[in-house]
Structure 1
Amino acid sequence: METTVINPWQWQDERSYVQAVEVKQAEATLYCSGQAAVDADGKSSKDDMKDQLIQAIQNLEYVIHEAGYECKNIVRLNVFTTNTTELFTCFDVFQDWVARHGIKQASTLLQVESLFETLKVELEATVVK
């Protein structure tokens, strides 16, 4: 597999994403449903945004690894949140995770009116190998 990052500007670097990712000769592609702070029993978290973000990241990692993929090969990562202001108070958690795995992903961040039950943040990824 060969990936090429397309960044005509530099400002997105501070925000931990890229403008586009081209993938050539991929062996397979994994499309992950949105992962949120839901425990193994299916119970939605009532925790604060930071704790929910941490759990959503852990759940996404688990799905990716169970499928035999690696987080470093995430090429698209959409973030849905019920409150962008609250998310930005703990966005360093997200940025540290992206940096730790060397992820270079195209991203969209959307504030939505609501997510399922008590959820505040959801991560939707596309991963290649």
Structure 2
Amino acid sequence: MQRTAVNPWDWSLKLGYNQAEVIEGAARQLICAGQTAVDAEGNPRHLGDMRGQIALALDNLEAVLTNADMGLRNVVRLGLYTTDVDEALKNFDLFGMRFGPIRCAPPMTLLGVSCLAIPGLLFEIEATAMG
């Protein structure tokens, strides 16, 4: 799979994402359901802790990717949902810590929502991966 970044402007690179990517030669596509801060039994964790919830949602995303014989470098798009955009943005370094070392900057969208499916959850990550 070859990824070519499309960035008419460079401001998004400072935030860790490309405006778009051209994906060529991908044989498999994985569409991930929203991953949140829940444990293996589906119980919410880190209530009231945005940073903890983002970190666990990323852990859960990595678990799904691993189970599909993929990893974060295969992610080509992220959809992010939060009940508090300002608080989420304060913790976006977590994305840089995970995606930066592998030099992956998938296009993403961050949306503020009034609530998520399970009470107490603050953050959800949808991903599309290709490999």
Q: TM-score range by the shorter chain?
A: over 0.9
Unaligned runs of 5+ in 1: none
| Residues 37-76 of structure 1: per-residue CA shift (max 9 Å, x gap) | 0100110122400000110000000000011112112110
Aligned pairs for 1:1-129 within 5 A: 1-45=1-45, 46-116=47-117, 117-129=119-131
What is the CA–CA distance in structure 2 between the aligned matches of 1:23 and 1:90, rounded to whole Å? 28
RMSD in angstroms over aligned alpha carbons? 1.1
Unaligned runs of 5+ in 2: none
TM-score norm. by structure 1 comes to 0.95
What is the CA–CA distance in structure 2 between the aligned matches of 1:124 and 1:86, rounded to whole Å? 19
Q: Could you list the runs of 4 or more consecutive aligned residues of structure 1 that deviate by over 3 angstroms after TM superposition? A: none
TM-score norm. by structure 2 comes to 0.93
- The more displaced of 92-101 and 32-41 is 92-101
